[in-house]
Amino acid sequence: GEDVEQSLFLSVREGDSSVINCTYTDSSSTYLYWYKQEPGAGLQLLTYIFSNMDMKQDQRLTVLLNKKDKHLSLRIADTQTGDSAIYFCAEAGSSNTGKLIFGQGTTLQVKP
The residue from 57, 104, 109, 111 that contacts other proteins (CB under 8 A) is: 104
Using CA atoms, how far apart are residues 75 and 65, in angstroms rounded to an integer? 11
Tell me the closest approach of the beta carbon of residue 32 to other proteins, in angstroms: 10
What amino acid is encoded at 75 in this protein?
Answer: R
In the complex, the smallest distance separating the C-beta of residue 72 from other proteins, rounded to whole angstroms, is 14
Exactly one of 78, 99, 109, 111 binds other proteins (CB under 8 A); that residue is 99
> Per rule CB under 8 A, is residue 13 in the interface with other proteins?
no
105 binds other proteins (CB under 8 A): yes
- In angstroms, the CA 92 to CA 18 distance is 24
Among 49, 65, 76, 90, binds other proteins (CB under 8 A): 90
Among 76, 92, 108, 110, binds other proteins (CB under 8 A): 92
